[in-house]
Amino acid sequence: MHVGTRVDVAIRGVRVEAPVRRAGGAGPSDDGHLILDGMGAAVPLDPRSPYSVRDGRLWLGETDTGLPVTPVRRPRFYDLTTADGVPYEKIAKLHGAGVLATTVVQTCVRYAESDRCRFCAVEESLYAGATVAAKTPAQLAEVAEAAVRLDGVTQMVMTTGTTNGPDRGARVLARSVRAVLAAVPGLPVQVQCEPPEDLAWLGELRAAGAAAIGIHVESLDEEVRRRWTPGKAAVPVARYEEAWAEAVRVFGRNRVSTYLLAGLGEDPDELVDGAARLIRMGVYPVRGAVPADARHPGRARGRRAGAAARAGAPGHRARRGAAARGGHDRRRAGGGVRGLRGVQRARRGGRVSRCPRSTCRSSPDRRPAR
């Protein structure tokens, strides 16, 4: 599939019933999970999209693109509950066709209105009763075992809201990884957290058995970060660079990833150059784009919040799907830059619009954004 088509679908969404979807959670969300031309895709579900699915193929208006599409089926493990009575679906979710994903701690110290990342809805699913605030290692191990046995899950992603301690959530991730691997030996697990204060935590995560790590900066532009991720922007990009370097040393090249969101007002060429720099240092840049109709999450509790399309992520938040890449990463990393250029072209073509909230610091009169 041409990367331009993939980017276009990721931005404009698709009209389709998707049994597996994510309506909220950490980082950008609100998507349905499809197998698009043989690859996992987390795509906005939008009744106004020009894309639809008919007869198992993707249509653009009245044109059959010829690309096969299959919505990911509802997994069987969703029908189970833990020994202590919590539905498995509240512990971890299926992303793509084979990735089990969980937010171990569903709260974030940066979720006050003034601090939160403007696209993030990490606590919304908690308020909606769709998840629990903290998943225990035992619960995660139980669900992972069932998901592998019943639904053929092949990898797991564990993210977390940022915690108060200097480990930034790494401690609970390490405990969780150990428990899961005791139940499912050999399952590739990717972890995700902010740069810990003490970078030795990265070694602890590797020692616990994590196969890969995501340390997500979201934007390399400090001004963009101050507007869109005001809490996280307190940690400068330079500190992320130290953490990436240490993570590459510990986990290996291309087993470290970071998100770069496109369309937040950054310079397109600087974004692409920054992605190339990351690739050179062994960090896999996962690109995302903020679609035209995303509402501002600051006031969107209970509604669609923080929608973002993951253009080209193999599972979801490639945050979903990153654990088992290994040798594929170099090829994908090149695709990452091409994908970013595609997103930027779409942006220049007017398909990525600006923040609709007039009071937002990212409002249309100040800067080009979603």
Interface positions with ligand SF4 (CB under 6 A):
26-27, 108, 110-111, 116-117, 120, 122, 161-162, 229, 232
- Whose Cβ is closer to ligand SF4: residue 298's or residue 335's? 298
Which residues have CB under 8 Å from 40's CB, separation 6+?
33, 34, 72, 95, 96, 97, 98, 99, 313, 314, 315, 316, 320, 321
- Whose Cβ is closer to ligand SF4: residue 51's or residue 119's? 119
- Whose Cβ is closer to ligand SF4: residue 1's or residue 109's? 109
> Which phi and psi angles does 264 have, rounded to 5°?
-100, 5
Entry field: residues in the chain: 370
Least distance from ligand SF4 to the Cβ atom of residue 238, Å: 18
Least distance from ligand SF4 to the Cβ atom of residue 194, Å: 7
Q: Which of 330, 221, 335 is nearest to 271 (CA)?
A: 221
- Whose Cβ is closer to ligand SF4: residue 39's or residue 237's? 237
Least distance from ligand SF4 to the Cβ atom of residue 178, Å: 23
Cβ neighbours around 207 below 10 Å, total: 12
Burial class of residue 47, CB neighbours in 10 A (0-12, 13-18, 19+): exposed
Least distance from ligand SF4 to the Cβ atom of residue 104, Å: 11
**Owner of token pair 């953490």:** 243
Least distance from ligand SF4 to the Cβ atom of residue 327, Å: 29
- Whose Cβ is closer to ligand SF4: residue 120's or residue 213's? 120
Tell me the CA distances in angstroms from 47 to 44, 146, 180, one per residue in order.
Answer: 10, 34, 38
Which residues have CB under 8 Å from 241's CB, separation 6+?
none
**Which tokens in the block code for residue 185?**
């030996």
**Which tokens in the block code for residue 308?**
């973002």
CA atoms of 156 and 151, how far apart (whole Å): 13
- Whose Cβ is closer to ligand SF4: residue 120's or residue 212's? 120
Least distance from ligand SF4 to the Cβ atom of residue 111, Å: 5
- Whose Cβ is closer to ligand SF4: residue 82's or residue 229's? 229
Least distance from ligand SF4 to the Cβ atom of residue 110, Å: 4
- Whose Cβ is closer to ligand SF4: residue 124's or residue 142's? 124
Tell me the CA distances in angstroms from 102 to 168, 173, 238, one per residue in order.
Answer: 17, 11, 28
- What b/e string do you get for 155-177 counting C-beta neighbours within 10 Å, with b at 16 or more? bbbbbbbbbeeebbbbbbbbebb
